[in-house]
Each structure stands twice: as structure tokens, then as C-alpha cells.
Homo-oligomer: A and B are copies of this chain.
Amino acid sequence: MKKSLPLPLTGIIPPLVTPLLNNDTLDTEGFERLIEHVISGGVHGVFILGTTGEFAGLGYKTRNELIRLTCKLVSGRVPVLVGITDSAFTESLNMAKTAADNGADAVVLAPPYYYASGQPELLEYLHRIMIQMPLPLFIYNMPVHTKVFFEPETVKISSEIPGIIGLKDSSANLAYLNQVRYLLRDRQNFSFMVGPEEILAEFVIMGGHGGVNGGANMFPRLYVDLYYAALNRDFKKIMVLQQKVIQISTTIYRVGHYGSSYLKGLKCALSVMGICNDFMTEPFRKFKEPERVRIKQFLEEEIHYQEWL
């Protein structure tokens, strides 16, 4: 029988990129390598179909395939979280069902992202979707993409809805996150996970539960080590490791223009490192040669990436 998810969930849970051969075909070999890469790097779970996983650009056939494939490849070694964010209620539930049927452990949901909703509308939506939700759920604050902010009071009330087990925040606003954690200080089992890897250390030092950090696709061990160093408040280690994290963030993620720079850089680096294909979903395209050369230089000459694998 399936073990139940430990609550609160803790540690490093990489938001896996989705390796693709083309718009509708998974790079299954690359994905298998990626899964083994992060699990052998010590991660505490994997999260598919998040922003880093380009969920929004994938067709549903591919999303469902990815859910099945992930559950099969991970095979219970670590918890599997599945992003079910969608502008359509029914499609979110469909994906949740696929996730449950294939043995995933939890789902992650940002607000519907075409029509922006008011906070009361958002709360009622959560109440209604949870009635049919077959798995425990993380709410996902991602205001840049959804145009909707989960206000502290909304998170507080949400936390009382049965089945909602945590918050993943990608606002990078640690003041906000501290306020939310204060308001929920009595809910011992509620998980707080942080998206932006640049603040993982601070967040965990002060009691946050872990990180859903894109860079852990490339260097799972680095983020896991930083997580434990932060947990143990081993500042000597924290300082070295966080520097590395920020070095990555200010090089690999800053080669391109526009908001897609992070996604393109991450996927390109994974390709340079031989892990998986860097084909991207629309409306984006993978880096061309000049950008790829810069990514390679950053990896080799500044990050010295071989030492961090």
C-alpha cells in the first residue's frame, strides 16, 4: 500500500523541466536521465507540470503522458507532485484524476490565469474544486503569471479547507511569506515551500520547509546541501553554497531577454550538460548558437559545473 505523504513536506523538490523532442513528443530518454540525476542528487520529491515544466505550453495528451511516465520512473522513491493549474476547472480535475490514478502524491494549483479573480471569488473556487479533489493540494502563489495574488488572509482561510496541505510561493516577496507564516503559525502540518532559489537559505534558516527550485534540475546536490546547511544553520557552508546558487541565477538565467530568459537558460544548460533536449514549447524557442556558447562558457569557466555534479 502507498505510504502517505509526510506532513509538512520538507526539502528540495525540483520543478522538473519537460524534455521534449518536439511540441508533442516527450524526450523520454532525457526525462529518465533527468529523473535519475535529481534522485541520485538527493532530492526529497519531484514536481512536474509547474511553470518551469512549461505546463501551460503542453497539450493535454502530453501532460497526461508526463504524469504517467513520471510516476512510473520515480516508482515511489520520492513523492511526486503534479501541477494541475489550468484556466478550466474540468481540465484541472482531469489532470488531478490522472495523477491520482497513477499514484502521484499531491497536486499543485495556481489560480485560473486568464480571467483574474477577486479574493472572495478565488476562495469560493478553492472550496468548490477541493470537493472533487482526489489528492492533497498545495496552493501556488505565482502572481507574475496569474495576475492574482493569494493575499495572506486568503491563504489563512484556504488552509482550513480539507485537503489543502501547503503553499508554494513564487512571489520572491519574503516579507509576504513571513506574514503568511505568522498568520498560520498554529497549523503545524501546513507546508511552506519557496520557489525562488535565491532565498532558499534564508527561508529555511527561519523555519521554512524547503524549496521548489529550478536550478535543482541541473545541480540537485547543491540545493539539497544548501537545504541541509540551512536547516543546521551551518553558516560557513551556507555562504559558499548560496554564493553558487546566486552565481547560477545571475549567469545562466540572464543570457536571454524577456521573461523567458530563465526557462531558456535552464533548459539550454541541461542540454549542454548532456541531460536532456532543450526543445521548448511555444511561444518560445531554444537558444541559438551564440546564446548557447555563452551558457557553455558560464557553466565551464565561471560555475565550474563539473565540480558541482
Contacts and interface: CB of A to CB of B under 8 A. Distances in A.
Greatest chain B CB density within 10 A among A58, A249, A258 is at A258
B124 A285 contact: yes
B242 A206 contact: yes
A33 interface: no
A161 interface: no
A112 interface: yes
Contact of A89 (B112, B173, B281): B281
A147 to B, nearest CB: 7
B260 A115 contact: yes
Interface in A98-130: 111-118, 121-122, 124-125, 128-129
A290 interface: no
Contacts of A183: 250
Contacts of A89: 23, 57, 59, 281-283
A179 B282 CA distance: 29
A91 B152 contact: no
B172 A198 contact: no
Interface string A35-55: 000000000000000010011
A176 B23 CA distance: 33
Given A147-B147, A196-B175, A199-B174, A112 B242 contact: no
A17 interface: no
A2 to B, nearest CB: 28
A127 to B, nearest CB: 11
Contact of A259 (B115, B124, B233): B115
B174 A282 contact: no
B57 A179 contact: no
A18 to B, nearest CB: 12
Given A246-B179, A250-B183, A258-B118, A111 B281 contact: no
**Chain A: number of interface residues, binned into ranges:** 35 or more
Copies in the complex: 4
A27 interface: no
Interface in A48-74: 51, 54-62
Nearest to A85: B114
B173 A260 contact: no
A125 B283 contact: yes
A243 interface: yes
A24 interface: yes
A188 interface: no
A124 B283 contact: yes
Given A58-B88, A89-B282, A115-B259, 19 more contacts: A55-B114, A57-B89, A59-B90, A60-B60, A112-B282, A116-B145, A117-B258, A121-B260, A121-B284, A121-B285, A122-B283, A124-B283, A128-B282, A172-B173, A173-B173, A175-B196, A175-B249, A185-B243, A201-B206
